[in-house]
Amino acid sequence: MLDREDENIVWHEHHVSKSERAKLKQQRPCVLWFTGLSGSGKSTIANEVERRLHQRGKHTYLLDGDNVRLGLNSDLSFSDADRVENIRRIGEVSKLFVDAGLIVLTAFISPFKEDRNRVREMMQEGEFIEIFIDTPLRVCERRDPKGLYKKARKGEIAEFTGVSSPYEAPQEAELHIQTENMSVSTAAKSVLEYLEKKGYLRC
């Protein structure tokens, strides 16, 4: 990456600060980083969490896999280098939205620990909340909401996480949700309880 300081490009502090924006919204901005296999339930649970936060008057924004790949990251493939760049850009966008005072939710497989940790390091202490949606591969494959496992097993999708590409499970996620025997509603409730307990929903 380019060293921007050499080009005299530096971060500008604005007159209105992150904490002032957050105060107006009565919330502590953060990113809820959902990670897990395809079909594990990241998107479904993140949507439900966002709905509940919105109902409580909280300002949120959900960044979702396909939507980002259709726009911001439409130039990226699924090669190793592009997967790294995909997560890096999502991290940077999340950081800007956190700076704007929002509670950001992201739903990306983000299979590699190093990539997730790089995003964690971009944020300030307490702003990155990793949520491991831990659903066994056999359950994801049974759900197969987009028919992707079927295609991957037939060899029609190269390097598919869980089938032909590894998933590195988080060891120290802030939240660990096992969905096999848990409803979407209970999973969402546990995220809201965490945010409440840790003081993210007031300022």
> Rounded to whole angstroms, how far apart are CA atoms 154 and 45?
29
Active site residue 110: yes
By the rule CB under 6 A, 107 interacts with ligand ADP: yes
Q: Is 163 in the site for ligand ADP (CB under 6 A)?
A: no
68-85: buried (b, 16+ CB within 10 Å) or exposed (e) per residue? bbeeebeebeeeeeebeb
Selected binder of ligand ADP within 29, 36, 91, 111 (CB under 6 A): 36
# binding residues, ligand ADP (CB under 6 A): 17
Residue nearest to ligand ADP (CB): 41
| Minimum CB distance to ligand ADP smaller for 127 or for 134 | 134
Report the largest interatomic distance among the alpha carbons of the chain, rounded to a whole angstrom: 56
Stretch that binds ligand ADP, among 17-25, 33-41, 124-132, 160-168 (CB under 6 A): 33-41
Interface segment toward ligand ADP; rule CB under 6 A; list 4-12, 96-104, 118-126, 178-186: 178-186
Which bin fits 108, alpha (ψ -120 to 50), beta or left (φ > 0)? beta
Q: Which helix (H) or strand (E) holds 105?
A: strand 103-107
Other C-beta atoms closer than 10 Å to the C-beta of 64 total 17
Catalytic residue among 38, 40, 94, 110: 110
* One of 76, 100, 169, 182 touching ligand ADP (CB under 6 A): 182
40 binds ligand ADP per the rule CB under 6 A: yes
Four-CA torsion 90, 95, 96, 98, nearest 10 degrees: 120
Taking the complex as a whole, how short is the minimal distance between the CB of residue 188 and ligand ADP, in angstroms?
A: 9
- Map residue 40 onto helix, strand or coil: coil
Interacting residues with ligand ADP between 62 and 91 (CB under 6 A)? none
Q: What is the distance between the alpha carbons of residues 170 and 92, in angstroms, rounded to a whole number?
A: 21
Which stretches of the chain bind ligand ADP, using CB under 6 A? 36, 38-45, 107, 143, 145, 179, 182-184, 187
Q: Which residues are catalytic?
A: 110
